């Protein structure tokens, strides 16, 4: 049995509203609200980095679990916006938290589904050896998006979420995880510059290519709805649990219209679907653990509740996880 021992999260203080964006690019509150449901998002302060966000979320989760740095046996960080190119953000986090020399690794590039993939990896590691694994999902996207591309810049925000997982009993049991990938869709949502195919050059930096997130929005939208609903149903079927038993669905928060369409396709009541995209925008791999932490903190999850998480992102990757509180 794999348990979640503690939940945590962190959002930076700086609020960036739709009107703030309208003062920078050719957009307005009405377009952003009707097309995405986003009203505002949080941006990290200039002196904050991915590591700072990760640390604050990790400390909340460790406190909630009643554990300190010496109790952590392994650290996984899911992020597409790491602290540095190398080494992994997780090793820097191990040092920052003052943990022992335990193994660490990042799960990078999996976009918004990365954190659910990371808890699946942690689950397998715990089954192999009883360990307490810290699993963080973090993005500091505001520093890597183009501040000139209205089609992408208004969508994202910065945040971190975390859990500590371990064997035995805890606050929730991780019942199962299902994930999948369609690598043929890699070009539909991608940031190309910086890898070996397109290394950084003076010209690419001058052209802002390192911030050029390419996204075919409507194709991503359609696939997100299709994959998140299908993988959620597949998971419930595997667990032999009807949808009516789900107390709360926490979907990836990219766009309120995507969330509504997933809810509609599943036929789940609106009040059982968690939403915070209006306040934080799309925070990539942080949306699901952040939503989980908020729902838990707000008392929206009660003992005995079946909670289902689902996410979709670049890759394309998709995943669903079920937790029994």
User: What's the rounded Cα separation, in Å, for the pair 138 and 142?
Assistant: 12
DSSP 177-222: EEEEE-GGGGGGEE--TTSSSS---HHHHHHTGGG--EE-HHHHHH
Minimum gap (Å) between residue 222 Cβ and ligand UT7: 9
Return the range that interacts with ligand UT7 (CB under 6 A); candidates 41-49, 78-86, 88-96, 212-220.
212-220
- Is 112 annotated in the active site? yes
- Is 282 annotated in the active site? yes
What would the x/- binding string for ligand UT7 be over residues 69 to 108, using CB under 6 A? Answer: ----------------------------------------
Q: Does residue 110 touch ligand UT7 according to CB under 6 A?
A: no
Q: Does residue 185 touch ligand UT7 according to CB under 6 A?
A: no
User: What's the rounded Cα separation, in Å, for the pair 81 and 114?
Assistant: 12
Taking residue 256's Cβ as centre, other Cβ atoms within 10 Å add up to 18
Provide the β-strand partners of residue 307. 248, 323
For residues 151 and 207, which CB has a smaller minimum distance to ligand UT7 in the complex?
A: 151
Return the range that interacts with ligand UT7 (CB under 6 A); candidates 100-108, 128-136, 253-261, 264-272.
253-261
- Return the DSSP state at 16: E
Minimum gap (Å) between residue 163 Cβ and ligand UT7: 20
- Is 252 annotated in the active site? yes
Alpha helices of the chain — where are they, by DSSP H? Answer: 18-22, 29-36, 50-65, 89-97, 114-128, 150-153, 202-207, 217-239, 256-266, 277-280, 287-297
Which chain residues interact with ligand UT7 by CB under 6 A? 27, 31-32, 35-36, 112, 150-151, 154, 189, 217-218, 220-221, 224, 254-255, 258, 282, 313
Q: Which residues are catalytic?
A: 112, 252, 282
């Amino acid at each position: 049995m794999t348990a979640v021992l503690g939940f945590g999260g962190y959002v930076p203080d700086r609020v960036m509203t739709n009107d703030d964006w309208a003062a920078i690019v050719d957009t307005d509150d009405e377009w952003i609200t009707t097309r995405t449901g986003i009203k505002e998002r949080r941006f990290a302060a200039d002196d904050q980095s991915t590591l700072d966000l990760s640390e604050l979320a990790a400390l909340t989760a460790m406190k909630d679990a009643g554990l300190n740095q010496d109790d952590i046996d392994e650290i996984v960080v899911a992020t597409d916006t790491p602290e540095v190119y190398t080494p992994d953000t997780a090793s820097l986090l191990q040092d920052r938290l003052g943990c022992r020399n335990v193994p660490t690794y990042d799960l990078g590039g999996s976009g918004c589904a990365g954190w659910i993939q990371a808890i699946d990896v942690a689950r397998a590691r715990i089954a192999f050896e009883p360990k307490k694994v810290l699993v963080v999902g973090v993005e500091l996207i505001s520093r890597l998006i183009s501040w000139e591309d209205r089609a992408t810049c208004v969508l994202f925000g910065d945040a971190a979420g975390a859990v500590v997982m371990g064997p035995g009993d805890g606050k929730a049991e991780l019942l199962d995880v299902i994930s999948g990938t369609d690598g043929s869709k890699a070009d539909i949502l991608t940031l190309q510059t910086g890898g070996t195919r397109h290394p950084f050059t003076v010209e690419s930096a001058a052209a802002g290519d390192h911030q050029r997130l390419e996204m075919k929005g409507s194709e991503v939208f359609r696939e997100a709805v299709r994959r998140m609903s299908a993988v959620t149903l597949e998971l419930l079927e595997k667990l032999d649990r009807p949808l009516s038993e789900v107390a709360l669905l926490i979907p990836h928060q990219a766009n309120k219209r995507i969330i509504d369409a997933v809810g509609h396709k599943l036929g789940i009541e609106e009040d059982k679907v968690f939403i915070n995209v209006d306040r934080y925008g799309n925070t990539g791999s942080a949306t699901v653990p952040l939503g989980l932490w908020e729902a838990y903190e707000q008392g929206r999850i009660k003992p005995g509740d079946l909670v289902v998480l689902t996410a979709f992102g670049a890759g394309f990757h998709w995943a669903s996880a079920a937790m029994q509180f």
